[in-house]
A = this chain, B = another copy of it.
Amino acid sequence: MPAPLEFYFDFSSPYGYIAAQRIDQIAVRHGRGVDWRPMLLGAVFKVAGSKPLTEYPLKGKYSTHDFQRSAREHGIAFNMPATFPLPTQGAARGVYWLKQVLPEKAVPFLKAVYAAYFVDGKDISSPEVVADIAAGLGVDRNAFLAGIENPEIKAKLREVTEDAIHNRGVFGSPYMFVDGEPFWGADRLDMVDRWLQRGGW
């Protein structure tokens, strides 16, 4: 089986959420899997010299409009959260912990976290809230809460984020690699689809 699509994202990224609803279908169509890699966009922005879209004059207003329009085009539920952006360490660590101990729960968990934030407006910066989400998927709540405080898991998230920035040039979310070829942004999913179809150009 060919290499999975590498999907870097932050849980506080609206375009990351939108792309997360579409990437599986594109990957499956081309016989690929998806390697989900949550990272911390705050650390990325420091190196990239940028900040959340909504904090830029002019671009902020357009972006909020475009989040909703982009979701609507694809029939994706989306409600701009009242609190935005949020710290996402707990949610991201939860994914890496699940990948180690209950890998089959990692993708359902990350999809549920994204929906909790961008559909239901829940405070996913709270370890309690993300632990509830994990518990809803049959994960032991106390084990999860201990897992996201595990130094090895904390280090894993830092390593993924640092590697993304310094070795792979990641500067935003979502950021995808197809056999090493980089694609930035939810609006590049159709290009990813064509790239896979044509085998590049």
Contact = CB atoms under 8 A, between A and B. Distances in A.
Contact of A47 (B58, B62, B65, B188): B58
Nearest to A175: B62
A184 B62 contact: yes
A56 interface: yes
Copies in the complex: 2
Contacts of A8: none
A59 B194 contact: no
Contacts of A171: 56-59, 62
A56 B49 contact: yes
A155 interface: no
Main secondary structure of the interface of A (DSSP, over half): helix
A45 to B, nearest CB: 10
A169 B62 contact: yes
A31 interface: no
Contact-residue size bin, chain A (C-beta under 8 Å from the other chain): 20 to 34
Given A56-B49, A57-B49, A182-B62, A73 B169 contact: no
Interface string A4-37: 0000000000000000000000000000000000
A48 interface: yes
A165 B62 CA distance: 12
Contacts of A40: none
A170 interface: yes
Given A57-B171, A188-B187, A182 B48 contact: no
Contacts of A62: 169, 171, 182, 184
Interface of A: 47-50, 56-59, 61-62, 65-66, 69, 72-73, 165, 169-172, 182, 184-185, 187-188, 190-191, 194, 201
